[in-house]
Amino acid sequence: MDRETRVFAESHFRGLRGRLPSEVCPTPDRVDFIEKPDSFSYTDFFKSYLLPNVPCVFSSAFTEDWGSRKHWVTPSGKPDFDYLLQNYGDVVVPVANCGVQEYNSNPKEHMPLKDYISYWKEFIQRDYSSPRGCLYLKDWHLCRYSSAEGLFTLPVYFSSDWLNEYWDTLDVDDYRFIYMGPAGTWSPFHADIFRSFSWSVNICGRKKWFFFPPGQEEALRDCHGGLPYDVTAPEFLDSHLHPVLEVTQEAGEMVFVPSGWHHQVHNLVIMKSCSGINFEEFYQFLKVIAERRLLLVKKISPGELQCSEDSGLGLQHTIFDISRIAEVLASVVVNPDFQRVDTSRFLPQPEDLLQQLQEALATTEPL
Ligand SMILES: O=C(O)CCC(=O)C(=O)O
Ligand SMILES: [Fe+2]
């Protein structure tokens, strides 16, 4: 990130203070398609989509070199079951039953990938039906348990990924998932964890996405305050009542899912890889990222802080992250629910961490 972009970003967030999500995010009437990787920089993405918090779709040229697109897909564009069986057949994977609603989600079981693939083949042979229901392999943490070397390359646009960075430092979890399933499998209406943004690539097949801008889900609540499970039910899909954006994602394409946007996703044909807690965990999460950014800033001499003009995510992004974390943490510490949490064993104390962040910001040149 360069200095000018950081100035732009900081003033963007200053302008948002005290405003409601529905006021700050005017709904676009369509989702932009980004064709060419060469002429689309990190700053372009940051200014046009990440900061305004609107979805976009990247063409398949952005994932051209992904090993999974080469090895996991047959020349006719179907999932290569033989390759998957040979390489991952015994891996135990989570499988959801899309035909059974359990609250606003689906019950899950675990099975070896080879059993899921047998089910899938049979499902196709039986004309897309099965007495076992409609099973969707979801949230398979392939990167965590086996080598994902060469399968995908992290797009530069998503290199500031606090959730995965946090989990990577703890080495216990991650938000990098593989989903796969036959046509008809789907993910119920939801927003992503912590209102994080995410991104999702189709290795093969097609997906249909329904997007609702932040705040619009309020209009969809039932009389008990519950959110819908399926927004494709006839009562919801009147676009005059609810500004829904629809996207069809083709093979190789990458969808950016902005923060706080509710969405529902249907597999029209097949397969995907995506990146994708309570208050105490949320504080631990912020703390890990904060301390890493503070360490980076400390390594830089005061002279450099004034004049460095780096072009990568480096210094400017570090300062930008610190100012964002400080703002989030400031709102956390005054939150009444957080104030009920026993923070006596938190180290550092949230207020002290906030002070450290503010002090670090004070050593940088004001914008
Ligand atoms: O592909 C799916 O079924 C769900 C994807 C999703 O919800 C996401 O990537 O955030
Ligand atoms: Fe999602």
Find, among 88, 58, 210, the residue nearest to 151 by Cα. 88
The rounded Å distance from CA 11 to ligand 2 centre is 29
Q: Is residue 256 part of a domain?
A: yes
Which of 232, 249, 274 delimits the end of a domain? 274
Q: What is the DSSP letter of 27?
A: P
Distance between first and last Cα of the chain: 15
Q: Are residues 97 and 147 in the same domain?
A: yes
The residue whose CA has the least distance to atom 3 of ligand 1 is 187
- Output the CA 124–ligand 1 centroid distance in Å: 22
The per-residue pLDDT for range 177-236, each reduced to its tens digit, is 999 999 999 999 999 988 899 999 999 999 999 999 998 899 889 899 999 999 988 887
Whether residue 8 lies inside any domain: the answer is no
179 touches ligand 1 (CB under 6 Å): yes
Q: How many residues does the chain have?
A: 367
pLDDT per residue over 144-166, tens digit each? Answer: 777 788 999 999 999 988 887 88
Q: What is the pLDDT of residue 165?
A: 83
Residue 349 belongs to what domain range? 279-362
Ligand of minimum distance to the alpha carbon of 192:
2
329 Cβ below 6 A of ligand 1: no
Comparing C-alpha atoms, which of 84, 236, 218 is closest to residue 151? 84
Assess if residue 23 is contained within a domain: no
Question: Residue 173: its pLDDT value, please?
Answer: 72
Last residue within a domain, chosen from 210, 242, 274:
274
Query: How many angstroms does the Cα of residue 188 sit away from the middle of ligand 2?
Result: 9
**Stronger pLDDT, 238 or 31, i.e. the higher one:** 31
pLDDT in tens, 102-131: 989 999 999 999 999 999 999 989 888 899
In a domain, 25, yes or no: no
Using the atom order of ligand 1, give the atom closest to the CA of residue 263. 7
* Element at 112 (helix H, strand E): strand 108-112
Candidates 205, 91, 90, 203; CA nearest to 142 is 91
> Within this chain, do residues 244 and 104 fall inside the same structural domain, yes or no?
yes
| Burial class of residue 311 (count of CB atoms within 10 Å of its CB; 0-12, 13-18, 19+) | exposed
98 and 63, same domain (yes or no): yes
Whether 256 and 350 map to the same domain: the answer is no
pTM of the model: 0.80
